[in-house]
Homo-oligomer: A and B are copies of this chain.
């Protein structure tokens, strides 16, 4: 029985281009206090456009209604549990939004004099130190814009290290449970991907590792806890094996929410890792971004970090570009500063003990869900659960219902679905990460919904297969979207 939601009217809204009417404006500019320049004269006829064809023309109130109405079609953390596994959808504190908008921070120009940027540089320095302490690493760069960007940076660092040792090597080992960004990153950094199988507990198969790890191996990219939410119990041995062959250990820190305050990658053999500040450190996902993929390294990789680096000189912060071994920059300027401000605010609000408590609550919530759902959903890997739990749809598949269908039905129960069909090592995966944000009330509603769906699968699979039934837009035809891609609006005329 659905207890969490009821249907209510929401406003329809055409595309901006459909609601535009010629001459409508939603803006007013200040009067020009200098002579107006004639564009054609200044830039040349051929360089100036007549108009931006099809561009929106709406009033201010139409604009705010447009976006307000559209927003009501979205689900969000502010509305409830958002258990997307591997995405760590935790509460985004509003104070972080407030501080990131303080004028002196929001309006700082990256090229303004260092003497007038000390506040911004201090924020970055304090954050670098906090992240080094949390990860147990020696140095941190805040330049990468997201996790995948951090992975790329990290692998370039390894490559630079190995090159400095005379041979960049050929391969990177990646467990079959890894996120897609790992192999994609290895490829972009010019490495071959060697697939590392997992054992039946979801952990790295040690024999395979020993077999595959050789002098051509540049590094292992490991996610820990891995994508089935399990801590790699052999992690120190794994690291020893890699190091024994002169290879490096890269850790994908996307799941760091399981470790903050209880274990540090720097203490179990990791040489370089990234953090997703938009996951572990609560910066808003904003419908897909922005993020920040800070990279933490051990001392031996520090010389290769991207330029510029923060340097303390005569009691002032300065940007140091004089770094001969650096891989260079991976983006313009210094990083997603506005995101960094939010992450630091989160860390300050929790403090050392608070961060550990958050981790433990995250583990508690994941174990609670695993325990209560295990009777109803197949849980393939029997190892202890950390921050997320991964079920398979094996029991439901017998009735022709797959993980994707259960996900859609969950929407009718008022929840955002879990992550569907990932990791690949679990056939028909349901990957559930509640985070520490949730209280028992919300978790119990979720568990009830999942159990109730399991029953529906037995009694009335059609109901689940045709879900969702209560949304303004019901099941979307993604196949046609990909087969005949329409990725922009065109005036009716052109369509015909």
State the number of copies, please: 2
Interface string of A102-120 (1 = CB under 8 A from B): 0000000000000000000
The stretch that binds B, out of A7-15, A184-192, A381-389, A479-487, is A7-15
The stretch that binds B, out of A66-74, A146-154, A165-173, A225-233, is A66-74
Q: A91-B60, A441-B19 are in contact. Are A8 and B65 (CB under 8 A)?
A: no
Report yes or no: A4 in contact with B12, Cβ–Cβ below 8 A: yes
Cα distance, A62 to B440, chains bound together (Å): 11
Report yes or no: A78 in contact with B73, Cβ–Cβ below 8 A: no
Report yes or no: A12 in contact with B6, Cβ–Cβ below 8 A: yes
> Is A93 interfacial (CB-CB < 8 Å)?
yes
Residues in B whose Cβ lies below 8 Å from that of A414: 9, 11-12
> Is A357 interfacial (CB-CB < 8 Å)?
no
Cα distance, A91 to B349, chains bound together (Å): 38
A130 CB to closest chain B CB (Å) equals: 19
Report yes or no: B5 in contact with A94, Cβ–Cβ below 8 A: no
Which of the residues B72, B471, B472 comes within 8 Å of A72, measured between beta carbons? B72
Which of the residues B9, B61, B472 comes within 8 Å of A437, measured between beta carbons? B61
Report yes or no: A7 in contact with B4, Cβ–Cβ below 8 A: no
Cα distance, A440 to B12, chains bound together (Å): 16
> Is A352 interfacial (CB-CB < 8 Å)?
no
Which of the residues B79, B412, B472 comes within 8 Å of A69, measured between beta carbons? B79
Report yes or no: A8 in contact with B93, Cβ–Cβ below 8 A: no
Q: How many residues of A contact B (CB 8 A)?
A: 42
Residues in B whose Cβ lies below 8 Å from that of A21: 439-440
Residues in B whose Cβ lies below 8 Å from that of A3: 12
Q: A19-B441, A61-B91, A441-B19 are in contact. Are A472 and B79 (CB under 8 A)?
A: no
> Is A336 interfacial (CB-CB < 8 Å)?
no
Report yes or no: B19 in contact with A9, Cβ–Cβ below 8 A: no
Cα distance, A93 to B27, chains bound together (Å): 12
Interface string of A49-93 (1 = CB under 8 A from B): 000000000011110110011001100011110000000000101
Residues in B whose Cβ lies below 8 Å from that of A68: 78-79
Report yes or no: A10 in contact with B5, Cβ–Cβ below 8 A: yes
A401 CB to closest chain B CB (Å) equals: 21
Which of the residues B4, B94, B349, B441 comes within 8 Å of A64, measured between beta carbons? B94
> Is A452 interfacial (CB-CB < 8 Å)?
no
Residues in B whose Cβ lies below 8 Å from that of A59: 439
**A11-B80, A72-B79 known, 16 other contacts, Cβ within 8 Å:** A3-B12, A4-B11, A5-B11, A5-B12, A6-B10, A7-B7, A7-B470, A8-B9, A8-B470, A9-B470, A11-B414, A24-B439, A59-B439, A65-B80, A68-B79, A72-B72
3 residue pairs, one from A and one from B, having the closest CB atoms: A8-B472, A7-B7, A61-B91
26 A-B Cβ contacts within 8 A?
A: A3-B12, A4-B11, A5-B9, A7-B9, A7-B10, A7-B470, A8-B8, A8-B9, A8-B72, A8-B470, A8-B472, A9-B414, A9-B470, A11-B80, A12-B414, A19-B441, A59-B439, A60-B91, A61-B91, A64-B78, A64-B91, A65-B79, A65-B80, A68-B78, A68-B79, A72-B72
